[in-house]
Amino acid sequence: MLKTTLIKVVFLWKHFTFEAMQYFIDVILPIPLERLFTYSITRAEHGFIKPGMRVAVPFGKNKIYTALVYNSHQNQPEVYEAKAIHQILDDYPIVNDYQIKLWSWISKYYMCTLGDVLRAALPSAFLLESETIISKNEHANIEDSKLKDDEFLVYEALQHQSALKVNEISNILDKSNILPVLKRLLEKKTIVVEEEIFEKYKPKLVRYVKLNTNYSSDEALHRLLENLTRAPKQSAVVIALFSLTANKSKPIKVSELLTRSNASSAQIKTLIDKQILEEYFIQTDRIQYSGAENESIKTLNLYQENTLNEVIQSFKKHDVTLLHGVTSSGKTELYVKLIDEVLKSGKQVLYLLPEIALTTQLVNRLQHYFGEQVAVYHSKYSLNERVEVWNQVLNNLDKARIILGARSSVFLPFNNLGLIIVDEEHELSYKQFDPAPRYHARDTAIVLASLFNAKTLLGSATPSIESYFNATKAKKYGFAKLNRRYNDILMPEIELVDIKDKHKRKRMKGHFSDRLIEEMTVALQEDQQIILFQNRRGFSPIVECTTCGHSPQCPNCDVSLTYHQFKNQLRCHYCGYNMSMLLNCLACGSVDLDSKGFGTEQIEEEVKTLFPDYKVGRMDLDTTRGKYGYEKIITAFEQHEIDILVGTQMLTKGLDFRNVKLVGIMNADNMLNFPDFRAHERSFQLMLQVAGRAGRTAERGKVLIQTYNPYHKILQQVSNNDYISMFNEQLDERCNYKYPPIFRLIKITLKHREYNKVNVGADWLAKSLKQIFNTNVLGPEFPPISRIRNQYHKNILIKIPDNQSLSKTKEAILKIKNSFMSVKDFRPIRVILNVDNY
């Protein structure tokens, strides 16, 4: 009897616990936590929540974060009590399983947390948190009546204070859970999330006018015109506007109205003040598709056709194929063909480019073929624009079938991807350097494509040693080649100019050899354009006192300050520190200051003196800030408003200029002597790419390379356009010195303000690593610039042979890192892991 009762009780108890079953979700928080974090949810929420949705959650004492749901389950966490979520923020997932899989791969492979990946992946407007700064959207026309009470309170507060932290807003509303309110305001475009880097950028606004709605009836308009009979000019404006509106349904720009009515801006303003006209603004984007007629896709020539077939055949056996096609061979036209095929099957295409190669030139070219299906995604875009593209991709809309994007577009929520093109695949800027995730977009793209069983095409005129190795030696990738320029234009003729000899024989004017001046003169006389390449910006990188030898240094970094003549400043290129140019030496007071080395600014100056009758432009980091800074210079050059363009490596990025006859490389040596195992490969690529800008149409181009060392083997290889001997020689060296692609690299960087702390910590860490990896640990070593922004850096390099398990290696490193971090003295040291260091 007793027994059965007991059984009954147990049964009931079990039943009871079942009834009170608790529900949990694991979420990714956008902070570098090693693990997922668990929150409790109600049963109703459990029925609704899906992985990939956002939730607002409390964290720590009084922080609120936007987190992403990873999974849901019923296991209470053992070591902490799960807090309840504040609220579900989405009606449907904003990322899908593919992204979560990709993120997990990134986090494992690049040794970072899922939180790091989340932060990099989502546009920050998706990730509101307590510290986020919110401000009013200055460009929105907001109707108070459309705002709910709580929304209005926020809006009103922002009228008085231009920017508020989420925290502060939550005090104003007197509730902790305000993310949903902010989300609604964002959707109504009432508020914007502060973007530190881009606050200086103002979207281009075009001013439009319309007739006040009071005058929309014929009768009212009649009366208005009668009233205006004594102001004939104003009346003419109204009539002009009326006729413009009648002829086209589009909004009328103020500028159009001005031309049509011959009125002055003041007259239009009067009409606006009188509330007869209404002005409004629309944000325009040069990249917006203008609706121009579609062009049909170009017919490939025989060589291109053959190569396209090679690619298609190769894709039957390989998921990844490398296309080695010389500059101006028509790689882009080939991509277009492939894209067209994939689009027909209803799939999405990702077209990756290095950030600064992403120009209106290319966007326009693709839009001509594919119209509105092309969407652009890169960091110079505003948050709203990025959110829009995100949603278009998520919903697989026709508006975003082809994503033309920089590095971070590998994170977009694709759900039906068919093809990825990685153009200029050799570009180092595909690798994110800081902060984590330190991912390589090319390699990540390959993994992304594989999740969809999609193909990846890597394209370059100067492939990376890694990819060429993978294609031709390791046979991991397929390979296709296109070694003829379109229209059979010859590759430019490359001439090496020995400036040591020229100096000796007094044949130099400033930094220009007589040969360069001769060729420039000829090109200019023929009305051709010239590009001059110098891999340094500023005027001169070192200012030196001729009396005592002192040169001004950055107070925060271990580098000399660079002289910028235009602003008459000394600037640090690492931290941005600047001061006015010195009149006297800081150490001895002497006025004899000399400058050494030269940058783009100085070249520009010299060109102006040498060729005073011609227009000179400069393209480097200093002249291309702002959203369209770069575009403006390119357009000016395209339109031949500039005859001679001086620039840094920005010039090398896939630009298609019609009229450039001559390219001058001012000094090849500083590239070649750079202390990095990739310096030679990189110099080869830079020089051939910039050379490739010459003679793209009709006439054969000419390239002059000035150097102190014309017998340098890389320069010989460049002048013979001999990629293969460059590759073989570099591969030998990589083999001998244990570098990629033969070995893999993981770089560990320690950073701290105190020199000693970094030293002691690095020694400890290197010693522990050597116990496992022996001689494959290099360092610790200070890099050439050992202090940046007041932080000392010290590096340890781990070389991983092919036959050593990568995942086990990483496990061992993480274990050692954890014991390092458990030493109290070392805890303040930042330890940065960089896998496949570039």
CA distance to 207, 259, 262, 284, 753, per residue, from 254 (Å): 6, 9, 12, 14, 56
How far is residue 376's CA from residue 356's CA, in Å, rounded to a whole number? 13
545 binds, among Zn ion, ligand ADP, none (CB under 5 to 8 A by kind): Zn ion
Taking CB under 6 A as the rule, does residue 460 contact ligand ADP? Answer: no
776-787: burial string, b at 16+ Cβ within 10 Å, e else: bbbbbebeeebb
Query: Binding-site residue total for ligand ADP (CB under 6 A)?
Result: 15
Segment lying near ligand ADP (by CB under 6 A), choices 142-150, 298-306, 466-474, 509-517 = 298-306
Segment lying near ligand ADP (by CB under 6 A), choices 31-39, 163-171, 323-331, 559-567 = 323-331
Nearest CA-CA partner of 472 in 718, 713, 731, 689: 731
Among 45, 333, 424, 519, binds ligand ADP (CB under 6 A): 333
Among 331, 337, 407, 810, binds ligand ADP (CB under 6 A): 331
SS3 470: helix
Taking CB under 6 A as the rule, does residue 481 contact ligand ADP? Answer: no
Among 325, 413, 418, 695, binds ligand ADP (CB under 6 A): 325
Output 571 or 661, the one with its CB closest to Zn ion: 571
| Edge-to-edge strand ranges of the sheet holding 205-211 | 252-253, 205-211, 277-283
Alpha helices in 531-628, H assignment, sequence order:
600-610
Question: Amino acid identity of 345?
Answer: S
Output 543 or 750, the one with its CB closest to Zn ion: 543
Taking CB under 6 A as the rule, does residue 486 contact ligand ADP? Answer: yes
383 binds, among Zn ion, ligand ADP, none (CB under 5 to 8 A by kind): none
Shortest CB 446 distance to ligand ADP, Å:
21
Taking CB under 6 A as the rule, does residue 417 contact ligand ADP? Answer: no
Output 545 or 644, the one with its CB closest to Zn ion: 545
Taking CB under 6 A as the rule, does residue 330 contact ligand ADP? Answer: yes
Q: Say if CB 690 and CB 556 are below 8 A apart.
A: no
Shortest CB 694 distance to ligand ADP, Å:
12
Query: Binding-site residue total for Zn ion (CB under 5 A)?
Result: 15
Nearest CA-CA partner of 191 in 137, 126, 132, 130: 137
Site mask, ligand ADP, residues 641-680, x = CB under 6 A? ---------------x------------------------
Output 586 or 698, the one with its CB closest to ligand ADP: 698
Segment lying near ligand ADP (by CB under 6 A), choices 250-258, 324-332, 394-402, 425-433 = 324-332
Site mask, Zn ion, residues 556-575, x = CB under 5 A? xx--------------x-xx
Among 188, 210, 318, 550, binds Zn ion (CB under 5 A): 550
Region for 679 from its dihedrals, namely left if φ exceeds 0, alpha if ψ lies in -120 to 50, beta otherwise: alpha
575 binds, among ligand ADP, Zn ion, none (CB under 5 to 8 A by kind): Zn ion
Taking CB under 6 A as the rule, does residue 723 contact ligand ADP? Answer: no
* Number of residues in the chain: 838
The DSSP H or E segment spanning 689 is helix 679-691
Site mask, Zn ion, residues 623-642, x = CB under 5 A? --------------------
Structure tokens at 509: 């004017």
768 binds, among ligand ADP, Zn ion, none (CB under 5 to 8 A by kind): none
Nearest CA-CA partner of 142 in 107, 176, 188, 78: 188
Output 328 or 749, the one with its CB closest to ligand ADP: 328
Sign of torsion, CA 575 579 582 585?
negative
Nearest CA-CA partner of 406 in 332, 350, 347: 350
DSSP tag of 473? T
Q: In 87-203, at which residue ranges do the beta strands (DSSP E only) sit?
A: 87-88, 133-136, 163-165, 191-193
Shortest CB 328 distance to ligand ADP, Å:
4
Structure tokens at 287: 């990249």
Output 482 or 788, the one with its CB closest to ligand ADP: 482
Taking CB under 5 A as the rule, does residue 582 contact Zn ion? Answer: no
Output 359 or 809, the one with its CB closest to ligand ADP: 359
- Beta-bridged to residue 703, according to DSSP, are 494, 663
How far is residue 793's CA from residue 750's CA, in Å, rounded to a whole number? 6
Shortest CB 690 distance to ligand ADP, Å:
13
Among 66, 190, 304, 624, binds ligand ADP (CB under 6 A): 304
Output 509 or 550, the one with its CB closest to Zn ion: 550
Which residues touch 838 (CB under 8 Å, ≥6 apart)? 428, 431, 433, 440, 678
Among 298, 713, 757, 789, binds ligand ADP (CB under 6 A): 298
Residues 728-767 that bind ligand ADP (CB under 6 A): none
How far is residue 692's CA from residue 426's CA, in Å, rounded to a whole number? 15
Which string of DSSP letters, residue by residue, matches 86-110? Answer: SEE--SS-SS-HHHHHHHHHHHHHT
Output 124 or 314, the one with its CB closest to ligand ADP: 314
How far is residue 527's CA from residue 18's CA, in Å, rounded to a whole number? 85
Shortest CB 634 distance to ligand ADP, Å:
14
- Beta-bridged to residue 459, according to DSSP, are 323, 423
Output 333 or 681, the one with its CB closest to ligand ADP: 333
Taking CB under 6 A as the rule, does residue 329 contact ligand ADP? Answer: yes
Residues 791-810 that bind ligand ADP (CB under 6 A): none
The HSE-up count of residue 562 (CA atoms within 13 Å, CB side) is: 21
Taking CB under 6 A as the rule, does residue 328 contact ligand ADP? Answer: yes
Taking CB under 6 A as the rule, does residue 617 contact ligand ADP? Answer: no
Which residues touch 82 (CB under 8 Å, ≥6 apart)? 24, 38, 39, 40, 76
Residue ranges binding Zn ion (CB under 5 A): 545, 547-548, 550, 554, 556-557, 572, 574-575, 577, 585, 587-588, 590
- Rule CB under 6 A: which residues touch ligand ADP? 298-301, 304, 325, 327-333, 486, 656
